Structure 1
Amino acid sequence: MGYELQRQHQDMNPTAIIEHLKKMYYGQSKTVRCQLSKRLFRSSMPAKGQGGPHLLKMIDLFEQLEMLECKIGKTFSQDLILESLPESFSQFIVNFNMNKMNCDLHEILNSVD
Structure 2
Amino acid sequence: MDSYDMIEHLKCMFEEQARQESFDTFKSLNACKQGEYDLVGLHVLRMIGYTEYLAKFGAPISMEHQIDLILKSLNNSYSKFVMNYNMNEIDKNPTELLAILKIVETSIQKASHAPMNCREVGYWRREKLTYEGEMEKRNIISVSCLDKKGF
Q: Common fold, TM-score beyond 0.5?
A: yes
Q: Is 1:57 aligned with 2:46?
A: yes
Q: Which amino acid aligns with 1:43?
A: C
Q: Is 1:78 aligned with 2:100?
A: no
Q: In the TM superposition, what is the alpha-carbon distance from 1:48 to its structure 2 partner?
A: 2.3
Corresponding residue number in structure 2 for 1:102: 91
Corresponding residue number in structure 2 for 1:3: none
Q: How many percent of aligned residue pairs carry the same amino acid?
A: 32
Change (3 A) 1:109 1:17: farther
Q: Distance in 2 between matches of 1:89 and 1:108?
A: 13
Q: Distance in 2 between matches of 1:69 and 1:99?
A: 32
Q: Which amino acid aligns with 1:101?
A: I
Q: Which amino acid aligns with 2:92?
A: C
- When the two structures are superposed, what TM-score results if normalisation uses the length of structure 1? 0.80
Q: In the TM superposition, what is the alpha-carbon distance from 1:56 to its structure 2 partner?
A: 0.3
Q: Distance in 2 between matches of 1:98 and 1:72?
A: 23
Q: How many residues align?
A: 102
Q: Distance in 2 between matches of 1:26 and 1:52?
A: 33
Q: Distance in 2 between matches of 1:19 and 1:80?
A: 36
C-alpha distance after superposition, 1:65-102 (max 9, x if no partner): 10000111111111110010011101111222133532
SS of the residue corresponding to residue 25 of structure 2 reads: helix
Corresponding residue number in structure 2 for 1:91: 80
The answer to which structure has the higher helix fraction is: 1
The answer to which structure, 1 or 2, has the higher relative contact order (CA under 8 A, 6+ apart) is: 1
Q: In the TM superposition, what is the alpha-carbon distance from 1:62 to its structure 2 partner?
A: 0.4
Which stretches in structure 1 are left out of the alignment for 5+ residues? 1-7
